[in-house]
Amino acid sequence: MRLLKQKILIVLLGVYALVFGELFLRALAPQALMPRYVTGTEWGIRGNVPNAVYRQKTAEVDVEVRINAQGLRADRSYSMAKPVGTCRLAFLGDSYFLGYEVAREDGLVALVETGLKQAGYRVEALNFAVSGFGTAEMLILLNRDVARYEPDLVVFQWHASDFDDNLRADLFRLQGDALVPGQAVYLPGVGLRDTLSQFAAYRWLIANSHLYTAVREKAGRFSKDLLAKFRGGGVVSVEATAVETHRRSLAAALLAEGLARAEAIGAAWRVFEIPVFGTRTRITGFFENLPLTRAVRTRATSAAGVLNAAADVGTKLYFERGHRHLTELGNRLAAGRLVADILIGNAARLARCRRAA
C-alpha cells in the first residue's frame, strides 16, 4: 500500500512538473508553435499531409496553413491537365517556398503568381514545397509527381541548409563527377510521426504545447551537436575541406540534374536562392561559391542582393522570434526579384500565355 502511494506520488509529481514546465514557458519563454504535417508518399520521400489544416503561432504571427488534397499549399485543387491558354509554374522547395509564418497570399509563390498576372500573363503557380526538403528530394518529386501537371516552368528553391539535407538524404551520390542514385527511400521520422498522429493528444501537443515544442527543438539541436562533436573530434582541416568540397559538388550536380530533368519533361527551369539570415543587416548568399555548370548558372539567381539592398536595423525581412522565415516584406522583395528574373529569362516560354494588350 505504501509502495503504491509512493508510486502515485511520483506520477503526480511528474505530471505536475510537466504542467509547471508548460506554464513556465508560456510565461517566460513562449515558443514558436510550428507543427509540421508531413507524411510518407508513394515515391519514397516526404510530402505534405493531404487536406491538412493547421496554425503556426509565434510571438510575431498567427497564420493558417491549408494543404489541398494533392499535397500542395493551396485553397483549391488543380486538374492534371493545364487550362487552355494558361502557363503553369511549379515551385519546389522547403518551408521558405511553402510560405511558413505567412498567410498563403503573402507567400513567395502566390506573390510571383500575382506579379506575373499583373505583368499580363495567364499563369498558375503550383506550390509543391515541403518543409525540410533538399534538392535531392525535389528531383524525385519532379519526375514522380510534378511532371504530371505539365509545368511550363519549374522553379527550384536553393538554401544553404540543402548542403546538409542532400548529404543526409543520400538519395543521390557522387561517383567521380557523375551523379548516381543512392538509397530509394528517405523518410526521416515519418513512421513515428504517422503513428503518433493517430492520437488526438499528440496532435494537440504539437499544435499547442510550448513544452513539447521546446523539448523537441532542444532534443533536435542536442543530438545534432552531439553528432557533430563525435564526428568532428579529431577531424583535420584537410578532411573538413574535402567534406566541404564534396557537399558543394553534390549540390551543383543535383542542380544540373534538375535542369536536365525539367528539360526532359519539356519545361523550362530556374533555381532561386533564399539566403541565410544572420542579423537584420547581415544576409548571406552562398550561390556564388557553388561550382555550377554554365547552363545552371544562367538560370540561377538569388534573393540575397535585393534583400541586402533593403536591409536595415529598422527593417524586418525575416521573423526573428520564430523560425527565421521571410516576412511579408521579405517575401514581397524576393518575389519581385524572381518575377523580374522570369520575365527576363523565360519570357519566350511564357509568350503563349500573354494576354493581348
Partner 1 sequence: MLFNSIEFLIFFPLVLAIYAALRPTVMGQNICLVLASYFFYGWWDPRFLVLIAVSTTTDYVCGMIAGRRTVGVLHLARAGALLASLLGVLALLGVADIGLITALVVGYTAVMSGAVALTAGLARTRRARMFLGLSVTLNLGLLGVFKYFDFFAESFAQMAAGVDWEPGFVTLDLILPVGISFYTFQTMSYAIDIYRGRLQPTDRLVDFAAFVSFFPQLVAGPIERAKDLLPQFAAPRRLEAGRIKSGAMLFLWGLTKKVVIADNLAPIADAVFADPAAAAPGAMTVAVLAFAFQIYCDFSGYSDMARGTARIMGIDLTLNFNLPYFARTPSEFWLRWHISLSSWLRDYVYIPLGGNRGGVVVTYSNLMVTMLLGGLWHGAAWTFVCWGALHGAILIAYRLARIDDWLAVAKTGGHLGALRDAALMAGLFVLVCVGWVFFRATSLADAMVILRGTNLNLTNSPDATVFFAYVLPLVAIQVVQLRTRMLEFWRPLPGFMRYNLVLFLVFAIIFLGAEGGQQFIYFNF
Task: Identify the CA nearest to 214 among candidates 30, 19, 17, 28.
Answer: 30
Give the interface segment with partner 1, choosing from 174-182, 218-226, 234-242, 267-275 (CB under 8 A): 218-226
Q: Using the rule CB under 8 A, which residue among 7, 26, 168, 218 binds partner 1?
A: 218
Tell me how far, at minimum, the Cβ of 250 lies from partner 1, in Å.
29
Give the interface segment with partner 1, choosing from 17-25, 56-64, 160-168, 331-339 (CB under 8 A): 17-25
Q: Which secondary-structure segment (H or E) carries 48?
A: strand 46-48
Question: Does residue 324 touch partner 1 according to CB under 8 A?
Answer: no
Q: Using the rule CB under 8 A, which residue among 8, 9, 11, 17 binds partner 1?
A: 17
Cα 300 to Cα 302: distance, rounded to the nearest angstrom: 7
For residue 183, CA distances in Å to 124, 156, 179, 243 come to 33, 22, 13, 20
Residue 26 or residue 168: which is nearer to partner 1 going by CB?
A: 26
Dihedral sign computed on CA atoms, order 341, 344, 349, 352: positive
Quick one: cell of 239? Answer: 578532411
Q: Where do we find the cell 540561377?
A: 300
| 248: exposed, middle or buried (Cβ count in 10 Å: 0-12, 13-18, 19+) | middle
Question: Does residue 224 touch partner 1 according to CB under 8 A?
Answer: no
Question: Does residue 240 touch partner 1 according to CB under 8 A?
Answer: no
Question: Does residue 8 touch partner 1 according to CB under 8 A?
Answer: no
Residue 10 or residue 347: which is nearer to partner 1 going by CB?
A: 10
Question: Does residue 223 touch partner 1 according to CB under 8 A?
Answer: no
Dihedral sign computed on CA atoms, order 194, 199, 204, 205: negative
Tell me how far, at minimum, the Cβ of 101 lies from partner 1, in Å.
21
Q: Restricting to residues 22-61, name those near partner 1 by CB under 8 A.
A: 24-25, 28-29
Q: Using the rule CB under 8 A, which residue among 11, 15, 20, 86 binds partner 1?
A: 20
Quick one: cell of 178? Answer: 557523375
Per CB under 8 A, residues contacting partner 1 are 13, 17, 20-21, 24-25, 28-29, 214, 218, 221, 226, 229
